[in-house]
Structure formats: C-alpha cells, structure tokens
C-alpha cells in the first residue's frame, strides 16, 4: 500500500511513535526524494545521525568499511569507550579479524550444510502448523511465527527443549530494548546506565552470557556437531582463539539475530498475503515457486529497519559534509522501497525477479544466517499455504516500538483450514 506523503519538515526518524504506528514509509519516501543524506537529531542524548535512504548509497556505504566503520558500534546507541571491548561482537569488528570470526561458522550456514536439517524443519513446520490450526482464531505471531525460528536455533545449538521458551523471552527483551512491554530495562533510561557494559544495555545479556558459558564448559574438547561446540573447539584461521568476551557476544548474537528477525519476516509475509489475496492465490497455485516468493516476502517485510556505521574521515554525500566520527545510518527498509531499484516498490509481487533486496545487508557484514532464514521461511510457507482454505485478520495488528526492528507483536487472525 502506498504510504501517506509526509513533508520534509515533519520527517523524524528518531520518533518511535511513528514506527509503532507503522508509518515510517512515508518519511523514507520523502527523504529518498528530497534529502537523501538527512541529518537527524536524537532525543535520548545520542549525538544525532545522517539518515541514508537511497539503495545505491546504502550499498556503497555498507561495502566500504574503511570509510564507514562498524567498530564504533552498529545500533544508534553509543556505548562508552570503556565498555566497547566487552560488548564487541562480530557485528562490530572489521577487517581480517572479522573475516576470521565469520569463517568460524560460515560454512555451517551454507545451503549444502543446512540441507541436513530439511527433515527436521519439515517436521517442525508441520507440528507448528497443525498445533496452531487446532483452533480457528489465533494470534499468528504466538501460534506460528514466534517459536518456530527459535526451535530451529535450539536444534542448531543443541539446547534442551525446556530452554526454548527462555530463548524466546531473551530474544524479545533484547530486540525490544526500546519497547516498554518487552524490555525489563528500557534503553536510554536511568536504570539502563548500570548495564551499559552489556549489549543493548540490558541485564538479559548477562543471563545469555552465563548460559553460553555453561554450554561451552560442557562441550569444550568434545566432538559435538552443534554451533556452540564449533565455537569453542574451532580455531579461527588467523590462529587467534576467541577471547571470552568474543565467545559471549557471538553466542548472544546467534540467539538474538536469528529469532526476532525471522519471526517478523514470517508475520509480515502472512499479513502481506492477507492484504493481497491475488498473491495468496498465486502462491497456492505455485507452491513450487515459494523460494522466489520468499525473496519478495523479505523485501516487503524488511524486518530490520537499519544498521549504523561511523565515518572514519570527512566525506561528502549529496552536498552534505559528513565529518569523521559522525554516525551514518543505512535504512535498509527504505532501500527496499527505492523506486529507482524496484518497479512499483509498494506492490507485493511474489514472482518479482530480479529481486536484489537489502533485507540482509549488502557488505562484508551481510547476514550470516540468510540461508537459514530463507530455508525456514520456504518450508514454513510450503507447509502452511496448502492448509489454508480461508484466512482473515480479526483485530488490530500491533507493532514493536522500535526504529531498529520492524516487528509485529500481535496479529489476530482466523484461519479456516483444509
């Protein structure tokens, strides 16, 4: 759906109310058209940022870590210098060390390796769908989208079943760091100051660290095939073992990065299908093309609104002087609606090809779990769509209060199954 136009003087990408209402798209359109490198003041003490909204600019920035570094952190928050090493994950590491850390698990996320999990995924998707369809009325997020990605991750990490709901809760709290319903301690709040040594300034990060360490101790020097065993027993190719905090933050990132995002992608996709019945019909008739449809689901959903970089030198962009040290925010969601790149970008076209969306980023930090997320989505929709005779939304959809994740909290639906 085409968004309501917004005038440039009303654009404010730091206003979380707008994101909670799902109305950021009009702001992105205005910025791409009128001010593609737009200075934005922050209201929680942040130093402000340049909002970059055009596809080509975002791609250029993401692919140029020498000019736009990740090492000064990649969310809007600016962690104090003294805590940066403690909090640094692969996301906030550049250069050869980044590559070495990435390669530690990269091949485990390759399509060939992931194919080993196909039977497991099909079984899990069938169980998720059949359990949900026992009732007609449900919250789609709770019943279908939320637990499925985390159950997959639990399998990859080889954690016991009773931990799964804990993992979901941790993911919610961390990613919902700016939403009072999710976060025990709201980012930017007085109370969060005492947790600034932890990722997202959240006490939950410590719980995740502790759990990761327990697993690591159990699996050190073992021959486990799970991701934790690989993290503790493999040596990065630069020969430098993972330091304790590097392990902690890697483990935390795996839990956080893969769950909310995939959940959101699934929920948004279903919402898009309800809003576009012709596309739902197309998918019913072309289940064999679900893999192609997933790319459009990902573009349309844009589960991650942005990631941040920091300029390492002065650079000019669309007539604006970006200074060394300035925060530069790549609005991937906006790039995914760039009319210079995608024809009719607000239309859901499941057979869109090519579909070079930027939902997983574009540079050296491109999502490591992209193949997994695609695989999970394909199998879920291949399982779910043939079981739906009719589906409608029965109540208000509510969103996560965040300009980082494009998240759906509640999505009431009625599904008549067949």
- Residue 78 has, within 13 A of its CA and on its CB side, a CA count of 15
Residue 190 Cβ, how far from ligand HEM at the closest point, in Å?
30
Q: Output 186 or 267, the one with its CB closest to ligand HEM.
A: 267
Determine, following the binding rule CB under 6 A, whether residue 372 of this chain makes contact with ligand HEM.
yes
Q: Output 192 or 404, the one with its CB closest to ligand HEM.
A: 404
User: Can you tell me the distance from the alpha carbon of 392 to that of 76, in angstroms, rounded to the nearest whole number?
Assistant: 37
At 47, is the secondary structure helix, strand, or coil? coil
Q: In 3D, which of 206, 141, 142 has the Cα closest to residue 174?
A: 206
User: Can you tell me the distance from the alpha carbon of 393 to that of 381, in angstroms, rounded to the nearest whole number?
Assistant: 18
Residue 353 Cβ, how far from ligand HEM at the closest point, in Å?
19
Consecutive H or E run containing 247: helix 244-275
Determine, following the binding rule CB under 6 A, whether residue 28 of this chain makes contact with ligand HEM.
no
User: Can you tell me the distance from the alpha carbon of 5 to that of 319, in angstroms, rounded to the nearest whole number?
Assistant: 24
Give the x-and-dash track for 37-66 against ligand HEM (CB under 6 A): -------------------------x----
User: Can you tell me the distance from the alpha carbon of 365 to that of 257, in angstroms, rounded to the nearest whole number?
Assistant: 13
Determine, following the binding rule CB under 6 A, whether residue 367 of this chain makes contact with ligand HEM.
yes
Q: Output 32 or 299, the one with its CB closest to ligand HEM.
A: 299
Residue 383 Cβ, how far from ligand HEM at the closest point, in Å?
17
Q: Output 6 or 199, the one with its CB closest to ligand HEM.
A: 199
Residue 228 Cβ, how far from ligand HEM at the closest point, in Å?
12
Give the x-and-dash track for 252-281 against ligand HEM (CB under 6 A): -xx--xx--xx--x----------------
Determine, following the binding rule CB under 6 A, whether residue 359 of this chain makes contact with ligand HEM.
yes
Instruction: Give residues with Cβ within 8 angstroms of 351, minimum separation 6.
Output: 282, 286, 289, 292, 293, 296
Among 304, 348, 388, 408, binds ligand HEM (CB under 6 A): 304
Considering Cα of 219, then 225, then 86, then 302, what sign does the dihedral take? negative
Q: Output 105 or 322, the one with its CB closest to ligand HEM.
A: 105
Helix intervals (H) in 302-348? 332-335
Determine, following the binding rule CB under 6 A, whether residue 150 of this chain makes contact with ligand HEM.
no
User: Can you tell me the distance from the alpha carbon of 53 to that of 40, in angstroms, rounded to the nearest whole number?
Assistant: 12
Considering Cα of 46, then 51, then 55, then 56, what sign does the dihedral take? negative
Determine, following the binding rule CB under 6 A, whether residue 303 of this chain makes contact with ligand HEM.
yes
Q: By the criterion CB under 6 A, which residues form the site for ligand HEM?
A: 62, 90-91, 102, 153, 253-254, 257-258, 261-262, 265, 303-304, 307, 332, 359-363, 365-369, 372-373
């Amino acid at each position: 759906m085409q968004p309501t136009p917004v005038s440039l003087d009303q654009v404010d990408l730091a206003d979380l109310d707008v994101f909670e209402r799902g109305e950021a798209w009009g702001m992105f359109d205005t910025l791409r058209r009128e001010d593609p490198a737009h200075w934005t003041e922050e209201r929680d003490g942040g130093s402000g940022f340049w909002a970059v909204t055009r596809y080509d600019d975002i791609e250029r920035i993401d692919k140029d870590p020498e000019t736009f570094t990740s090492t000064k952190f990649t969310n809007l928050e600016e962690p104090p210098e003294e805590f940066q090493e403690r909090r640094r994950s692969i996301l906030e590491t550049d250069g050869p060390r980044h590559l070495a850390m990435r390669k530690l698990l990269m091949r485990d996320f390759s399509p060939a390796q992931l194919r080993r999990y196909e039977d497991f995924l099909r079984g899990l998707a069938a169980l998720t769908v059949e359990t949900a369809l026992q009732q007609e009325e449900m919250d789609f997020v709770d019943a279908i989208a939320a637990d499925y990605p985390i159950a997959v991750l639990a399998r990859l990490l080889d954690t016991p079943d009773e931990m799964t709901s804990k993992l979901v809760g941790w993911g919610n709290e961390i990613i919902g760091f700016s939403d009072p319903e999710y976060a025990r301690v709201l980012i930017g709040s007085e109370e969060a100051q005492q947790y600034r040594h932890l990722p997202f300034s959240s006490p939950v990060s410590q719980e995740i660290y502790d759990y990761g360490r327990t697993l690591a101790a159990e699996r050190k020097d073992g021959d486990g095939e799970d991701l934790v065993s690989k993290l503790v027993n493999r040596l990065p190719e630069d020969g430098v073992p993972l330091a304790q905090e590097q392990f902690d933050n890697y483990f935390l990132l795996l839990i956080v990065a893969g769950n909310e995002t995939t959940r959101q992608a699934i929920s948004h996709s279903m919402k898009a299908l309800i809003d576009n019945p012709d596309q739902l019909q197309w998918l019913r008739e072309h289940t064999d093309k679900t893999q192609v449809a997933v790319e459009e689901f990902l573009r349309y959903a844009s589960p991650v609104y942005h990631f941040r970089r920091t300029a390492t030198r002065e650079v000019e962009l669309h007539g604006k002087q970006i200074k060394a040290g300035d925060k530069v925010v790549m609005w991937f969601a906006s790039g995914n609606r760039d009319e210079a790149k995608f024809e009719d970008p607000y239309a859901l076209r499941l057979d869109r090809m090519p579909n070079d969306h930027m939902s997983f980023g574009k540079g050296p930090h491109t999502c490591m779990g992209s193949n997994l997320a695609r695989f999970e989505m394909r199998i879920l929709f291949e399982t779910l769509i043939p079981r739906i005779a009719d589906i409608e939304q029965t109540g208000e959809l509510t969103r996560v209060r965040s300009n980082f994740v494009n998240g759906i909290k509640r999505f009431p639906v009625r599904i008549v199954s067949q």
